[in-house]
A and B are shown apart, each in its own frame.
Chain A
Amino acid sequence: DQQVKQNSPSLSVQEGRISILNCDYTNSMFDYFLWYKKYPAEGPTFLISISSIKDKNEDGRFTVFLNKSAKHLSLHIVPSQPGDSAVYFCAAGMGAGSYQLTFGKGTKLSVIP
């Protein structure tokens, strides 16, 4: 039973356009969400997070939106760059101070020059 779902295994976007990566979750106890970026042969690196008390968090070209009623979050990258090509993981956690995360399967983003 997957509690965090990324239903698109891959996404291709033209350079300069917007990339939108989606994530759904089923456990209403999750209260914070993170996006990680992973290059081949490397561990995931933290990208951006959002607490359940917010509906949007922005950091440069990256914005995460949270829709609690729909149990859905999305990561927007604009403008997309070839260096953004990687696998993006959505992760969720619960409880302040808890580092345990539940991950989605990941979405492989390819940004085409």
Chain B
Amino acid sequence: GAVVSQHPSWVICKSGTSVKIECRSLDFQATTMFWYRQFPKQSLMLMATSNEGSKATYEQGVEKDKFLINHASLTLSTLTVTSAHPEDSSFYICSAPPRGRTQETQYFGPGTRLLVL
């Protein structure tokens, strides 16, 4: 089946540094990818929609200057957490629906756990 990968799977960084997380669709093209964040015992919360070749759209309350999204190709979207702070520590997960497929065929990556010290 289709696979979505994320790199890194976990990262620990110091406060104030920037962290880049990659989301790749390995065997299909995705013009759109989604970035979610999950805090402990909370829901997966949609942060932004990444669109290939255009600007990402952000959900209300998500700072676009802090969470930079780049969707440079049909198989890669990156999320950069700029000037990370401890409150940004969370589980970040991306998803990608293959082009032209139904809503059910949305594949999720394994997630990236970020810990900011």
Residues of A within 8 A of B (CB): 2, 4, 9, 32, 34, 36, 41-46, 49, 89, 93, 96-106
Q: Which of B43-51, B69-77, B80-88 contacts A (4 or more CB under 8 A)?
A: B43-51
Within 8 A of A (CB), among B86-103: 93, 95, 97, 103
The answer to whether B106 and A46 have CB atoms under 8 Å apart is yes
The answer to whether A103 and B110 have CB atoms under 8 Å apart is no
**Chain A residues whose CB sits within 8 angstroms of the CB of B67 once the complex forms:** none
Number of B interface residues in the complex (CB < 8 A): 24
- Given B9, B46, B104, which contacts A49 in the complex, CB threshold below 8 Å? B104
The answer to whether A100 and B104 have CB atoms under 8 Å apart is no
The answer to whether B104 and A2 have CB atoms under 8 Å apart is no
Query: How many Å lie between the Cα of A96 and that of B104 in the bound state?
Result: 11
The answer to whether A103 and B44 have CB atoms under 8 Å apart is yes
The answer to whether B43 and A44 have CB atoms under 8 Å apart is no
Query: How many Å lie between the Cα of A27 and that of B63 in the bound state?
Result: 25
**Chain B residues whose CB sits within 8 angstroms of the CB of A4 once the complex forms:** 43
**Chain B residues whose CB sits within 8 angstroms of the CB of A106 once the complex forms:** 43
The answer to whether A99 and B34 have CB atoms under 8 Å apart is yes
Q: Distance in Å from the Cβ of A63 to the closest Cβ of chain B? A: 16
The answer to whether B108 and A43 have CB atoms under 8 Å apart is yes
The answer to whether B105 and A46 have CB atoms under 8 Å apart is yes
Given A89-B44, A103-B44, check contact A46 B34 (CB 8 Å): no
The answer to whether A100 and B49 have CB atoms under 8 Å apart is yes
Within 8 A of A (CB), among B23-48: 32, 34, 36, 41-46
CB of B58 closer than 8 Å to a CB of A: no
**Chain B residues whose CB sits within 8 angstroms of the CB of A46 once the complex forms:** 104-106
Given A89-B44, A103-B43, A104-B43, check contact A98 B110 (CB 8 Å): no
Q: Distance in Å from the Cβ of B34 to the closest Cβ of chain A? A: 7
**Chain A residues whose CB sits within 8 angstroms of the CB of B107 once the complex forms:** 43
Q: Which A-chain residue is minimally distant from B111 (CB atoms)?
A: A43
Q: Which B-chain residue is minimally distant from A45 (CB atoms)?
A: B108
Given A97-B103, A99-B34, check contact A44 B42 (CB 8 Å): no
